[in-house]
Amino acid sequence: MAQPIHPAPPAHWVQPPLPLLPAKPSTPGNVRTVINTITVLKAHKIRLHPTAEQEAYLRRACGTRRFIFNWGLAEWQRQYAAGEQPSAAALKKQFNRLRGVEFPWTYDVTKCVVEGAFDDLGKAFSNFFAKRAQYPKFKKKGRSQESFYLSNDKFTIGDHWVQVPVLGDFIIKQREAQGEPITKRAQLKRRLGKINLAEKLRFTGTSGTTDKTSTMSTMSTTSKIMGATIRCEAGWWFLSVQVQVQVAQTPVEGPAVGIDLGFMRLATLSDDTRFENQKPLRHLLAQMRFLNQQLARRQQGSKNREKTKRKLARLHYRIRCLRDDLLHKMAHQITERYSFIGLETLNVRGMFQNRQRALSASDAALGRLARLIETKAQAHGTCVQRVGRFFPSTKRCHRCHHLRDIAEDERTYVCFNPACGWTGDRDLNAALNILEEALRLASLNL
């Protein structure tokens, strides 16, 4: 019944090893000096093991959130058409006035759901106005991400459990409706309201015991819980906790590096370290194609269709995990080794517009890698210098700055300047250009 989260990869697929970087220069006594303490936001995603009754509540909360979001969006559109100026905060007030009369069933779940739905609506519109996203869409059951938000003062986390608000009441009501006698109500409510966690929350700075009467937000002086999201992915439930942590910055002693990110090869560093693209999506694509064909053959609404759908969702989930694992390891290796990092600014949206490339772009998740490098570098106080999007890193010869056009499939750069004539790997040339430009830009900022 219970399937492992990370099933073994297929036998024919062997994960190529990450390139071995030369050993880190050792610091005296191997003790790193702390230069500064900074506050960063981290997230820990933990698998939940809800009982069937608890799962019903989680589904209800997700459905309620979807309903409220859609209600808000429809009302926004109506008010906008009527020449008014809608806002998420005003809509929330309006909804809360109507709630008791028109939507009493929304009281079955925690009020965080209402707040989260209007926050999401507000964010969706501000992203749209800032041209970061498309116009907000209505959420469809089974199509959209099923999730809801919990604010930090509404839930408690223990060693291996999370106390979800209103959950205990919800289950007791359901049991009462079925005519089950309820005794020791308060005790039962507490017990039913706790969902089992697959692992302990990280980043909280306490070890072992938890004070049962206090919430996690007061547990440790160095970390603070900011909120959490419960979501359903591939039929599994997850709790994602956002924690604000104090991080001691420890500088890395090492050289400067420029990084060229690409599709053919994931990353090429200016010292010629190469990270090949393992393309987890490509490897599992055949399997995905098969499942997609199977899904198309299954009858609408049949049990077998649901089964195939779930298999497909789990395949997507596995690909995400494989990719995330690789990106995290790469970002870690790079940030542990270099004291200065030059990165190009990627036009991620432009990459997805090119349909032929869209597959490899989503596969490599270059934008995510760049962001990971930036966040991990923060912990060392390492400078990450972005190079402008229009800097001709691929066209320029790093040695003589001669410019030439180079086709997408040309893997070798040959400099056309007769006085130079440098020949070498195309991405290495780009990485060296990025390093030089990043160092120049960083010196301007000083």
Which residues contact Zn ion by CB under 5 A?
Answer: 397, 399-400, 402, 415, 417, 420, 422
Q: Computed from CA positions of residues 330, 335, 338, 344, in that sequence, does the dihedral angle turn out positive or negative?
A: positive
Q: Which is nearer to Zn ion, 54 or 393 (CB)?
A: 393
Q: Which is nearer to Zn ion, 42 or 404 (CB)?
A: 404
Q: Which is nearer to Zn ion, 107 or 422 (CB)?
A: 422
Cβ 423 to Zn ion, closest distance in Å?
9
Q: Are 243 and 204 in contact (CB under 8 A)?
A: yes
Cβ 293 to Zn ion, closest distance in Å?
50
Cβ 413 to Zn ion, closest distance in Å?
9
Cβ 267 to Zn ion, closest distance in Å?
23
Q: Cβ neighbours of residue 287 under 8 Å, at least 6 residues apart? A: 10, 315
Cβ 427 to Zn ion, closest distance in Å?
16
Q: Which is nearer to Zn ion, 259 or 415 (CB)?
A: 415
Q: Which is nearer to Zn ion, 385 or 393 (CB)?
A: 393
4: left (phi over 0), alpha (psi -120 to 50) or beta: beta
Angle between helix axes 112-129 and 52-81 (nearest 10 degrees) is 40
Q: Which is nearer to Zn ion, 67 or 422 (CB)?
A: 422
SS3 39: strand
Q: Are 228 and 25 in contact (CB under 8 A)?
A: no
The string of DSSP letters for 390-410 reads T--TTTB-TTT--B----TT-
Cβ 270 to Zn ion, closest distance in Å?
16
Q: Which is nearer to Zn ion, 341 or 432 (CB)?
A: 432
Q: Cβ neighbours of residue 368 under 8 Å, at least 6 residues apart? A: 327
Q: Which is nearer to Zn ion, 196 or 423 (CB)?
A: 423
Q: What is the token pair recorded at 276? A: 């090949």
Q: Cβ neighbours of residue 434 under 8 Å, at least 6 residues apart? A: 258, 259, 260, 270, 342, 343, 344, 387, 391, 393
One-letter amino acid of 237: W
Measured CA to CA, the distance from residue 278 to residue 282 in angstroms comes to: 8
98: number of CA atoms within 13 Å, CB side? Answer: 13
Cβ 397 to Zn ion, closest distance in Å?
3
Cβ 402 to Zn ion, closest distance in Å?
5
